[in-house]
Chains A and B, each alone.
Chain A
Amino acid sequence: MNRRDFIKAGTAVAAIPFLLPEQLFAEAAREGEKQADAMPLTPRIEGGVKEFNLWIEIVEHELAPGMVIHTLAFNGQVPGPEIRVTVGDKVRVKFKNRTDLNHTIHWHGLYVPWRMDGVPYVTQMPVMPGQEFIYEFVAKPGGTHFYHCHWGTLLHMQSGMFGSIIIDDPDDPVKKQFPYNREYTLIYSAHDVNFLRTELNSMLERMKERMYLMKNNRFDKERFALFNSKKELEDAIKNGYQPPYVTNRRSQADLPDPNWFTVNGKSYPSTPNLFIKKDESIRVRLINAGTEEHFLHLHGHDFWQVADDGVPVPQPWQMNTIRLSPGKTLDIIVEGNNPGIWTFHDHDTRRVTNNGLYPGGNLLALIYEDLPIEERRVGKMKGMKMKKGKMDLLPKIALDE
């Protein structure tokens, strides 16, 4: 490569973040948006039971263009596929563990039998590497809920082990009050990618040892840090056992400090967008599967909050910023009454960053797809030459440093 080629290549690289994609209205871009949404899982009907297959594996997952990490993924995707059933459906979920780690599935917000609640050593034994566990329950209550792993929850949840479960209610008061045809599910999460990597490696390494011992029918309470009672633990300590949390066995807490913030597993500019038409109403189901609070603000609109933790609120009210705490689900209705392209983002703008760089994170847009093309043109910047078809239409992907 000669000097001129080098300069040319350097210019091209520098220009990429400002040129792609040219606009979000193209059909190809819309198809891409569908992929970014949580795709519903198709059930098999078996004796009146809706049967779903879920498995967990470790995959390479792209948070944003150029940023790939190892994550846990239900059915190879983050978030896991959306499970969609109707109130009263009999549901069976066959869960297969295809990793070297332990897992369970907790059905967050559902009235499942307690044995199906997915809490290891409380309601069930963990689903160990290669094992399968079958969860069975009747779908209730209606509304927006989610599922997630309850083993090593701090690590496994932010590693991607979450997905939505939507229980439709034929008598849903929301649909009666705000008739809509389109709806979206947005699952928020936050990730300390360094924590994920080091802890996943560490857990995988420990599990290699433990699985060796398990296969040879050797179980050691102290080695597995698993005791039948508090007294048994206290007795072990009296006999010299050092629990894993004491300071001479573990350094001062390195709690995760998230530096990537995702919606449906993606950070801006890969976040999914919301599409609407003038005079249309859309329902947006918001789920916080992460550890951070989000203060979601929609520009140019007041939306209706219509459900809280899946429960329809008796008196919907309007707001433009909503607080989404960890573990919460909230449903909102957006009325298409102000055409344009409007950002919908966390107003704690620390979460609108990728690795500390703004913009990024959970930034996305509400896009009126019937916005006339002449309203999407960019004003010409003085002194800047623009090639036709390159920088003339909004919106752009703009990254700064």
Chain B
Amino acid sequence: MKTDRKYNLIPLAFFFILLLPMHAAAQVTPAIQLAGRGVMSFNTYDRAGGFGADGNSVVSDFSDTGILLGVRQKLYNDYRSRFVVGFQFPDADSDLGQVFFHQVHFQLENKWSVFRIGRTRIRSSLIEFPTLRDDDAIKLTDVLNPFSSGKNTEESQYGNVVEAGVIYRQRVHLFVHGEHFTVTPVSAEDSEEDFSLNSFGGTLEYRVPEVQRFNRNIVTQLGLGWNNFLTHREGYTGFDETLKNVLFSAVLNLIPDPVYFLDLRHQTIYNFGFDEVSAVNTYADLSRAKSVNNFTALRFLYRKLERPTAQLSLGVGSKIFPDLTNSTREISVIVNGFYRLGENLDIGLQYQFMNYKGDLLDLYPETDQSIKLALVFSFEQFWNEYYDERNSLLNLEHGYLP
């Protein structure tokens, strides 16, 4: 028996001897990216009138804090691949648990095309606004997920996405996308089982790459988007059964000065809504009623020594419901300022005023004011960065190298 075991081990040893060097030769270390943001704020609220008017409250808040890990690799042809995993700490009352995996996606791209699949940011918004947290004005800045209970904002920001796009002359991006928006509520004993696509749409954008922002381009971004939710609408079939939104956005560099930089951002979201929604009593009504969102932000950025030093911004937005008769509307004003204490760390102060009228008083307090004093630690680090991103200056202005 001993002899048999000896003979059996020999081919196995050969197998490992042959296999290991092959593995060693095949390994090409991918480029690694680690990014993160820690947002710690001390919030005070003052809510009066309407629903949820709980007077003053004070909380410490670390939501929106998250980590992102990405690896990317050049393929044997002209394509590049990227795999990203990221998680966030959602709002304490979000029903999403302690940690929410907001990014788990794979991307394939070459010079003129991009394909992405997995969980990532949904194209419910075309641009970002200078708010302390991404969701501070989400009812005005994003198309709302009509399948959500509205308990959290992540369900309008992130979903399971499949999208493909082409890029023309480095600045024109045309994308078609389909996604599964999270459906809630789900009963306690069940988990969500149907992950089929429940939305599709497209975007057409003109976008100046970030590294060319001082080339005196006044128009930095122009975007047009269309989202079509595959909702079930009583008494309708086909295209009429779906909920449709169109988006328009623009970013203008009013003063493209490297030291005293001023830009203006605007986005309009038009929700075609359902005619039969004549009152807003629930979150489902809110996302299905015909509405027009406008949000505009003016941002001043002071950059001493070629890096951000301080930023001031003023954001103003409104949401109106043309089909509702009782002047239902929301307005919001956000003023904030950030000062960089050192590399990576900013201190910020934000004041937000929200006012609701009409039917919205069934969902929100009449006035909702908050002051947030925050510390924000953000970083992005690369290792083994052995090839250029598409939008590097070398690739943009001196010939694209695959």
Chain A positions near chain B (C-beta within 8 angstroms): 58-60, 68-70, 194, 197-198, 200-201, 204-206, 208-210, 212-213, 218, 220, 222-223, 242, 248-249, 401
Contacts of A205 in B (CB 8 A): 211, 393
Given contacts A197-B394, A198-B385, A204-B394, contact A212 B214 (CB under 8 A): yes
Tell whether, in the assembled complex, residue B214 and residue A223 are in contact, meaning their CB atoms are under 8 Å apart: no
Chain B positions near chain A (C-beta within 8 angstroms): 25, 211-212, 214-216, 256-259, 304-306, 342-343, 385-388, 392-394, 397-399, 401
Contacts of A210 in B (CB 8 A): 258
B402: min CB distance to chain A, Å: 9
Residue in B closest to A222 when the chains form the complex, CB atoms? B305
> Could you say which of A204, A213, A222 has the most chain B C-beta atoms within 10 Å of its C-beta?
A204
A10: min CB distance to chain B, Å: 11
Residue in A closest to B394 when the chains form the complex, CB atoms? A70
A247: min CB distance to chain B, Å: 10
- Can you name 6 extra interface pairs (CB under 8 A) apart from A201-B388, A220-B259, A223-B304? A60-B399, A201-B211, A201-B394, A208-B215, A222-B305, A223-B259
Tell whether, in the assembled complex, residue B305 and residue A242 are in contact, meaning their CB atoms are under 8 Å apart: yes
A195: min CB distance to chain B, Å: 10
Given contacts A201-B392, A209-B214, contact A223 B306 (CB under 8 A): yes
Residue in B closest to A249 when the chains form the complex, CB atoms? B343
Residue in B closest to A196 when the chains form the complex, CB atoms? B394
Tell whether, in the assembled complex, residue A60 and residue B214 are in contact, meaning their CB atoms are under 8 Å apart: no
Residue in B closest to A216 when the chains form the complex, CB atoms? B257
A236: min CB distance to chain B, Å: 11
- The complex places the Cα of A59 from the Cα of B342 at a distance, in Å, of 37
Contacts of B342 in A (CB 8 A): 248
Tell whether, in the assembled complex, residue B215 and residue A206 are in contact, meaning their CB atoms are under 8 Å apart: no
Tell whether, in the assembled complex, residue A208 and residue B394 are in contact, meaning their CB atoms are under 8 Å apart: no
- The complex places the Cα of A213 from the Cα of B256 at a distance, in Å, of 11
Q: Is the interface of B mostly helix, strand, loop or mixed?
A: loop
Of the candidates A70, A198, A401, the one whose C-beta lies within 8 Å of that of B398 is: A70
Contacts of A209 in B (CB 8 A): 214, 258, 306
Tell whether, in the assembled complex, residue A213 and residue B388 are in contact, meaning their CB atoms are under 8 Å apart: no
List 20 A-B pairs, Cβ < 8 Å.
Answer: A58-B394, A69-B401, A197-B387, A200-B394, A201-B211, A204-B394, A205-B211, A205-B393, A208-B211, A208-B212, A208-B215, A209-B214, A212-B216, A212-B257, A213-B258, A220-B259, A222-B305, A223-B305, A248-B342, A248-B343
A209: min CB distance to chain B, Å: 4
Tell whether, in the assembled complex, residue A70 and residue B399 are in contact, meaning their CB atoms are under 8 Å apart: yes
- The complex places the Cα of A209 from the Cα of B304 at a distance, in Å, of 11
Tell whether, in the assembled complex, residue A401 and residue B25 are in contact, meaning their CB atoms are under 8 Å apart: yes
Tell whether, in the assembled complex, residue B259 and residue A213 are in contact, meaning their CB atoms are under 8 Å apart: yes
- The complex places the Cα of A209 from the Cα of B214 at a distance, in Å, of 7
Tell whether, in the assembled complex, residue A194 and residue B385 are in contact, meaning their CB atoms are under 8 Å apart: yes
A300: min CB distance to chain B, Å: 33
Contacts of B385 in A (CB 8 A): 194, 198
Pairs A-B, 3 closest by C-beta atoms: A209-B258, A204-B393, A70-B394
A45: min CB distance to chain B, Å: 35
- The complex places the Cα of A16 from the Cα of B318 at a distance, in Å, of 64
Of the candidates A59, A69, A194, A212, the one whose C-beta lies within 8 Å of that of B258 is: A212
Contacts of A204 in B (CB 8 A): 393-394, 397
A224: min CB distance to chain B, Å: 10
A368: min CB distance to chain B, Å: 36
- The complex places the Cα of A200 from the Cα of B392 at a distance, in Å, of 10
- The complex places the Cα of A223 from the Cα of B394 at a distance, in Å, of 23
Residue in A closest to B258 when the chains form the complex, CB atoms? A209
Contacts of A401 in B (CB 8 A): 25
A253: min CB distance to chain B, Å: 16
Residue in B closest to A198 when the chains form the complex, CB atoms? B385
Residue in B closest to A58 when the chains form the complex, CB atoms? B398
A167: min CB distance to chain B, Å: 34
Tell whether, in the assembled complex, residue B392 and residue A60 are in contact, meaning their CB atoms are under 8 Å apart: no
Contacts of A218 in B (CB 8 A): 259
